[in-house]
A and B are shown apart, each in its own frame.
Chain A
Amino acid sequence: MASSDVVQYRSPARRLVEILTVVFLAVYLVWTVLPLFIMFVSSFKDLLEAFKLPPTGDWAGAWVFFDFTPTVQHYVDLFADNNFGTYLANSIIASLGSALISVVFGAMAAYSLSRIEFRGKRDLFFWIISTRMAPVVAVMVPLYAIFRGAGLVGTLPGLILAYTTFNLPFAIWILKGFFDNVPYAIEEAAMCDGCTRFQAFREILPLVAPGIGAFLVLCVLFAWNDFLFASIIGSGGAKTLPVATKELVQPQNIQWGKIMAAGVVTTAPMMFLGLLIRRYLVTGLTMGAVRE
């Protein structure tokens, strides 16, 4: 077996495959990063510079991409003229608020679901996850009416609740998996030591804490990136960054520089958070079906 490995390694076909592999990876790398790079660079260009493009086929002319005087004006303007400070705060409050509510209530529910059996549990469980899958556009009209009835449209509490509609089922579903892995014996032991039931619940929390933390972050990420809820239920009093960015497409001018700057402001924190919970991403994005 070992000898056949060596033979394969030396064969020209194998070398070719290796070269192709490297080329493919390089191309894919460029393909992934280029839009982000262009967004980043363009956020430092003024409108006319952002329009600059070499004639078709003039490959050497591509250098004009870098031919500009960098300006941070767009970033300054966003916060000075366009109220992005407020929108940033709205985004943070709404996504963090909904993440916290979802994880707290979600943990409670997930813990219970993981500890008892009852008839219809499977159905209940399916119903919970189906609320997460429901297409937002389909349920938007009735949801809007409900939120309006409660006076929640255009408010941050309203937006937090709206985000909870998709974060809570997610949290329940994911966290149940975590609690399932914690043996009941630990709580039992705690209660024997004189803990109340709730203290026992708290006792096992540290065991699932890393998971809970990661999914809190993931809930923040989902909420932060939402557009439809924010634009229909939130906007007015609770405009978030994605909505505010979209609104830079204004009748008088499509403010590309500002849009790119706003894109950077909106995306950068999420990329950071994404890296932070990198280990839990697969589990989170597949609803716990796949683990790394």
Chain B
Amino acid sequence: MFYAPKNALFRRVSRRKFLELGGGVATALGVGSIAVGLNSTIFRSPVQAQSSDAAKWKQYDGSKLVFMSENTPPSFAIRDNLQAFYDLTGIEVEILTDDLPVVQQKVGIDLRGGNADFHLNYVQDKPIGSPFADFYADLTQYTGDDTLPQDPEGYGDDAWFENFLTACGVYYEPGRIVAFPYDCAVACTFYRQDLFEQLSKDFEAEYGYRMEFTDDTTWQNVQDFAAFFKKVREGGRDDIPYGYGQHQGSFAWTTQLDIQRMLFANGQWTEFDVDDKLGAKEPGPTKWGDEQSVLIMQKYKDQADVSHPDNLANGTLELNTVYQAGDIAMQVQYHEFAASIEDENTSRAAGGKTAYAACPKGDPEWIVGDGQAVNGCNCGIGGIGINAAASEDLKRAAYIFAQWAVSKDTQLHVLKELGGTPTRKSVLEVEEVAAARNRPTSMPNALTFEAVYDKGIRDPNFVLGPKIPEANEYHNIILTEVQRCVSGETSAEEACEEIRWQVDDMHDL
């Protein structure tokens, strides 16, 4: 009747014994690794389908789990709110947070080693999901399990925003779900309304159209705006900032996203001939090097030329800091950053100076062939997934946390506390949230919701890829070659050709 916990005491004892035996020596002799949890414990009281809800929530009372997450708002807010989860379930959850690259390293080592130090993982779509998808538990085996507490809204595609579940949860084959959408960072345009108004007349006199942001504003327009700001600034107006800044620095993934937006906007170009949302383990030869990619690479370089001088040094975070400091007038940035922009204590762009719009659209002139011009928008959808190497009971306990963490109530709480980024549609229907979309607002991120949830993430604007196991190396290749081109070391053709060669070489083609 009493379940003998598999991980708890046994593992602890084995670890201590191991140390007593001189763990290092034993390992050095090739005894190999012994699976040791980071203090995980599991206790179970059996429940049945007809048990009360309270009993289902409480079935792992006294257990302990570890969640490895990126240092994004939901994890901070949930960490502050863990008491509520503990009261509900009796499960103790330790949330570890780190920079994405560090999370990636640790999660990767944990998963590939077949261990389960971290039972719950932050599954960021391409950086973590793509390489490690096979190591996560299939959540569909739990979603229908009536011995577990379940979310009344369910977990179907329609419970989340368009594309979200597939983006972070489904890899390479339909049907297997490895993560629930936990948070998201969707690109949209942040721009300084006050400065746009101030310079509007002069701009119109020179370019013949108004300086404003609409859904039809194209990348060409953005380039015009940026060039104009730069000209004014360099003409001696120190109060006018530069116009634009790209995502560069050393954070490879966001540079790939940055140029991908432009590529997709102009004719919906993608890098491989595969299903963009599912991805592929063997995507075949890349399309880099074709005429469209070369043209956009050139345009991207032109854009860099009219950007902030620190352009190549600024990663996503630094770019946002530059915007906060009032040193650029526009940035295409992830909507979760709105909270930091609207904070009067840290930002000079706060207090109604900033407006938000969808990502810029493609320009017909920039399209080779007959592709469609769209508001190319991409994102990072962070999922919450469960380590397949954990014991069955640990996985079930982890599932209880996962479905709680992505529930409507939790997301609403996060949004209110720290400026979260909801993934469930129902959150937006809450009256408070709907009201917060307009100034003055208590939830600054809500100011972006129109640009993001009503426009950007919907087809045909949404692009995700490439979901390939080598995503991280791919990002790095893009970063290096794009920067070579932007800094004038190589021409657009050479850069695209170099990317093609390296990517195909990476895939042994």
Contact = CB atoms under 8 A, between A and B. Distances in A.
To the question of whether A and B form a pair in one complex, the answer is: yes
A251 interface: yes
Interface string A45-80: 011100100011000000000000000000000000
Interface string B317-340: 110010011000000000011011
Contact of B109 (A56, A144, A146): A144
A152 B15 CA distance: 10
A206 interface: no
Contacts of A48: 345-348
Interface in B82-114: 96, 98-99, 102, 105-106, 109, 113
26 contacts: A48-B346, A144-B109, A146-B24, A148-B113, A148-B115, A148-B117, A149-B27, A149-B31, A150-B18, A150-B19, A150-B23, A151-B15, A151-B36, A152-B23, A154-B117, A236-B38, A237-B38, A247-B99, A250-B71, A251-B72, A252-B336, A252-B339, A252-B340, A253-B321, A254-B317, A254-B318
Interface string B16-30: 001100011011100
B340 A253 contact: yes
Contacts of B15: 151
Nearest to A57: B238
Interface of A: 46-48, 51, 55-56, 144-146, 148-154, 161, 231-232, 235-237, 247, 249-254
Nearest to A232: B105
A4 B324 CA distance: 65
A149 B71 contact: no
Interface residues of B, number: 43
A252 B117 CA distance: 27
Interface string B347-381: 11000000000000000000000000000000000
Nearest to B118: A236
Contacts of A251: 70-72, 317, 336
A199 to B, nearest CB: 28
B340 A149 contact: no
Nearest to A144: B109
Interface of B: 15, 18-19, 23-24, 26-28, 31-34, 36, 38, 70-73, 96, 98-99, 102, 105-106, 109, 113, 115, 117, 238, 317-318, 321, 324-325, 336-337, 339-340, 345-348, 419
Given A51-B324, A149-B23, A251-B72, 13 more contacts: A48-B346, A48-B347, A56-B238, A146-B24, A148-B33, A149-B27, A149-B32, A150-B18, A150-B26, A154-B38, A252-B336, A252-B419, A253-B346
B73 A252 contact: yes
Contacts of A231: 102
A244 to B, nearest CB: 11
